[in-house]
Structure 1
Amino acid sequence: MIQISTSPGQVWEVDYRAADSIDLNGQPFAWDIADLGEGRFHMLHEGRSYNAEVVEADYATKIIVLKINGQRVELSAKDRFDLLLERLGMSNAATVKVNELKAPMPGLIVDIRVEPGQAVFKGDPLLVLEAMKMENILKASADGIVSSIKVALRDNVQKGQVLVQFA
Structure 2
Amino acid sequence: MSEKFKVKVNSSFDFDISGDQISNLDALQVSKNNFHILQESKSYKAEIVASNFNNKSYHIKINNNTYMVNIMDNLDLLIKKMGLGTKSSKLVDSIKAPMPGLILEMHVAVGQEVKENDSLFILEAMKMENSILSPRDGLIKSISAKKGDAVEKNQLLIEFESP
TM-score of the pair, normalised by structure 1? 0.46
Question: Which structure would you say has the larger Rg?
Answer: 1
Using the size of structure 2 for normalisation, the TM-score is: 0.47
Task: Tell me which protein shows more helix as a share of its residues.
Answer: 2
